[in-house]
Amino acid sequence: MNAKANFTDAAKTALENPTLRSNFRSAMDSLRERRAAQFPDEAELDGARDLASAIRSRALNSLSDNLVELEKNCLANGIQVHWAETTAEANQIILDICQRHDAKHVIKGKSMVSEECHLNDFLAQHDIEALESDLGEYIVQIDGETPSHIIMPAIHKNKKEIAELFAEKIPGVEYTEDVDTLTAIARKVLRHKFESAAVGISGVNFAVAETGTLCLVENEGNGRMTTTVPPVHIAITGIEKVVPKLSDIAPLYSVLTRSATGQHATTYFNLISSPRREGERDGPQEVHLVLLDNGRSKIYNDEQMRETLKCIRCGACMNHCPVYTRIGGHAYGTVYPGPIGQILNPQQYGIDQAGEMLSACSLNGACGEACPVRIPIPSLISELRHEATRNDQQGRVYGQGALRKLHEAVVWGSWKWIHQNPTAYRLMGFAATRLRKWVPDSAMGPWTRTRVKPALAPKTLHEMMKERGE
Amino acid sequence: MRSIYYFGTCLVDLFYPSAGLSGIKLLEQANCRVIYPHEQSCCGQPPFNSGFRDEARAVAIEQLKLFQEPHDLVVPSGSCAGMIKHHWVELLAGSEYESAARELAARTYELGEYLVDHLHVQLEDKGQPTTIVLHTSCSARREMGVAAQGKALLAQLANVTVEVPAYETECCGFGGTFSVKQPEISAAMAQDKTTHIAATGADQFVCGDSGCLMNLSGTLEKRGIQLDSSHLYDFIWERVQ
């Protein structure tokens, strides 16, 4: 976590990269169009969002009961359950399992929670190679990068960049921009790894308490391979992903796939309910579930902030965000970029560490409008800006008050005095309009670098109304 | 004759007072008696959006006191109307002013919304044929849900053709203090928005929210794009003369 000083600089660098700008613009445009095509009926969209939002709220309101029930039913199904308060604990749990099975390499399905843990680096430090099997994750991994989008990890790269990367990094591969050929190359590499991996690691989209079932949504079949071919499957997820009922899944799945990739349904939907049972011919011998907290309980304890945890990780907020569309995911410097990242990261890591990105929002509301579970993201960003600048220590969010700057406090203090005092306000208006020609460009700060200075009127509306005798 | 309150907003007061007056004249033409309390200043949105809620609250309370009679409150700005309608309630929740804030919120309207939905105005266009491009603020569109009403007003003007820019619903990059705290990101958004506006080939650019107008007209001029910019309510008032 070093987003503190870097966000604004990284955003500037990203803005100056025309290839990156155009890659994101075209990718986000296409994702938005595909989503819109899935929701032709506004009333149906509203109803689907209401339902999904209610399911997530209800699931969160009984979170502790759901987690207890989930553990009980997973254990009954033969799934071993592990609890991790921190990412270090989660990593250690996974390492212990890998070492017990003498794993030299593991294969991974897509998991943002494992990114939170920096699991690949941790395993590498213990001489275990973790290979990503999702095509996008594989691309960013061989380039030594992190995902720039939560569902489209390599969306910042265009076809040409991927072609160059494959030719450079994969032995024996010649440069080609043919997408099918590129996919076939990755597939060939990955197939061998599936055969020899001792452990498969995946994420979880939803965990069902009443049945002890882990749901995995994917398009490439790599998720199914990861969770069925190696003898051991470890699933890792955040504690907020549990829902009470199996019947909760269909409405959530429906808004997830339509909001995320604009698909009516994904190619694969996996329901994992146990290790291989007697008489079954395939499946892992062991299934483990690692439930990670990593700051989630702290968020949960505040009723308003709890809304953050309703997220089903569809990425629609970033697809609709005009800031994300221009700077891309890496500029945020955190695992979760875009609007959801702007509310999640400062709460998980503290405003002092990850609060800078709170300023990168025009409060235009596009993310809130797109969110399938109705998280009020703009309101929460505004609320976190308040937490970032208030100077009374109430401990609601880590790093409270960390972004309070004296000069800003003085500006708003003076602003308050003037705007509370009608005479002072009218005098200020009179003076500003009369002295308008002498207001230097520099008074507008960075505004006038890219804009002509706005013209103050010769006299205020207050004066005009007074002249009218009103 | 119905009496209504008018909240001019600080940006209109200092930068676009003629648009504020045009709005008042449109209301008067629709048989309203407009009450303009002279103690009004600002809705408090700038400090509110910057996290300085105590300062915003102090000013909101003073402003709230100016609109105690049960008249409707009309605001020539989607974002300031949104602040009063939605965020004053949030700011004053749990205080002695909460019920007054809720009561005022229920009778607060954006000007275009009020002219169309409540006064059912019928405009008679007396201007020459022209083509314009309209930008609707995100607060008018998403917070107030009144994007359609601005368009409906323009649709009444027989000689005005309204062009729709690409990425119509995308933010222009103003965002109040956002444009100062993240000037490069804001500028990139304004750059794209002005490109799409110019690409329509319209004769004039029109916008009903002062912040977006200031951002976009300033960017158009800096880029040397020859396109006249007008506040929506000035534009409409001039056409009906």
C-alpha distance from A316 to closest chain B C-alpha (Å): 15
Residues A200 and A109 in one domain: yes
Tell me: ipTM over 0.95: yes
Residue B34 pLDDT exceeds 50:
yes
Residues A399 and A415 in one domain: no
| CA–CA dist A118, A97 (Å, integer) | 17
Mean pLDDT of all residues in B34-47: 98
Pairing of strands B228-231, B2-6: unpaired
Residues A463 and A392 in one domain: no
The whole-number pLDDT of residue A4 equals: 45
Mean pLDDT of all residues in A344-351: 96
The pTM of the full predicted model, rounded to 2 decimals, is: 0.97
Q: Of A231, A265, A297, which marks where a domain is finished?
A: A297
- Put simply, the answer to whether A425 touches B16 (Cβ < 8 Å) is no
Residue-wise pLDDT for B207-238, tens only, equals 999 999 999 999 999 999 999 999 999 999 99
Q: Does A160 touch chain B (CB under 8 A)?
A: no
Reduce the DSSP state of residue A364 to 3 states and report it: coil
Residues A14 and A68 in one domain: no
Mean pLDDT of all residues in B99-107: 98
Q: Is residue A129 part of a domain?
A: yes
| CA–CA dist B113, B144 (Å, integer) | 9
Q: Does A432 touch chain B (CB under 8 A)?
A: yes
- Residue B136: closest CA among chain A residues belongs to which residue? A364
Q: How confident is the model at residue A391 (pLDDT cuts 50, 70, 90)?
A: confident
Q: Could you tell me which residue, A1 or A205, shows the higher pLDDT? A: A205
Q: How confident is the model at residue A102 (pLDDT cuts 50, 70, 90)?
A: very high
Residues A206 and A278 in one domain: yes
Q: In whole angstroms, how large is the CA radius of gyration of chain B?
A: 18
Q: How many distinct structural domains can be found in chain A?
A: 3
Q: Is residue A307 part of a domain?
A: no
B180, exposed or middle or buried, with CB in 10 Å at 0-12, 13-18, 19+?
Answer: middle
Q: Does A469 touch chain B (CB under 8 A)?
A: no
The whole-number pLDDT of residue A200 equals: 98
The whole-number pLDDT of residue A223 equals: 96
- Put simply, the answer to whether B55 touches A418 (Cβ < 8 Å) is no
Mean pLDDT of all residues in A441-455: 88
Residues A199 and A283 in one domain: yes
Residue B13 pLDDT exceeds 90:
yes
Residues A90 and A104 in one domain: yes
The CA-CA-CA angle for residues A38, A43, A45, to 5°, reads: 35
Q: Of A263, A297, A331, which marks where a domain is finished?
A: A297
Residue A393 pLDDT exceeds 80:
no
The whole-number pLDDT of residue A470 equals: 64
Reduce the DSSP state of residue A205 to 3 states and report it: coil
Residues A350 and A428 in one domain: no
Residues A121 and A232 in one domain: yes
Mean pLDDT of all residues in A28-51: 98
| CA–CA dist A82, A313 (Å, integer) | 22
What is the extent of the structural domain holding A344?
1-38+315-404
- Put simply, the answer to whether B221 touches A451 (Cβ < 8 Å) is yes
3-state SS, one letter per residue, for chain B: CEEEEECCCHHHHHCCHHHHHHHHHHHHHCCEEEECCCCCCCCCHHHHHCCCHHHHHHHHHHHHHHHCCCCEEEECCHHHHHHHHHHHHHHCCCCCCHHHHHHHHCCEEEHHHHHHHHCCCCCCCCCCCEEEEEECCHHHHHHCCCHHHHHHHHHCCCCEEEECCCCCCCCCCCCCCHHHHCHHHHHHHHHHHHHHHHHCCCCEEEECCHHHHHHHHHHHHHCCCCCEEEEHHHHHHHHCC
B108, exposed or middle or buried, with CB in 10 Å at 0-12, 13-18, 19+?
Answer: buried
A386 vs B51, B187, B188: nearest CB: B51
CA distances from B165 to A122, A382, B169, B200, B217 (A): 49, 29, 9, 6, 15
The whole-number pLDDT of residue A1 equals: 46
| CA–CA dist A254, A245 (Å, integer) | 16
Residue-wise pLDDT for B105-164, tens only, equals 999 999 999 999 999 999 999 999 999 999 999 999 999 999 999 999 999 999 999 999
- Put simply, the answer to whether B218 touches A454 (Cβ < 8 Å) is yes
Residues A394 and A415 in one domain: no
Residues A386 and A429 in one domain: no
Residue type, A120: N
Q: Is residue A288 part of a domain?
A: yes
Query: What is the side-by-side order of every strand in the sheet holding B108-110?
Result: B32-35, B2-6, B72-75, B108-110
User: What percent of chain A shows pLDDT beyond 90?
Assistant: 93
CATH topology of domain B130-239: Rossmann fold (3.40.50)
Mean pLDDT of all residues in A233-249: 98
The whole-number pLDDT of residue A328 equals: 97
Mean pLDDT of all residues in A459-466: 97
| CA–CA dist A146, A134 (Å, integer) | 13
Residue-wise pLDDT for A140-151, tens only, equals 999 999 999 999
Q: Is residue A210 part of a domain?
A: yes
User: What percent of chain A shows pLDDT beyond 70?
Assistant: 99
User: At A455, which helix (H) or strand (E)?
Assistant: none
Mean pLDDT of all residues in B84-90: 98
- Residue B56: closest CA among chain A residues belongs to which residue? A416
Q: Which residues of B touch A412 (CB under 8 A)?
A: 47, 50, 52, 55
- Residue B142: closest CA among chain A residues belongs to which residue? A365
Q: Which residues of A touch B190 (CB under 8 A)?
A: 450-451
End-to-end Cα separation, chain B, in angstroms: 22
Q: Which among A76, A80, A55 is positioned nearest to A291, based on CA atoms?
A: A80
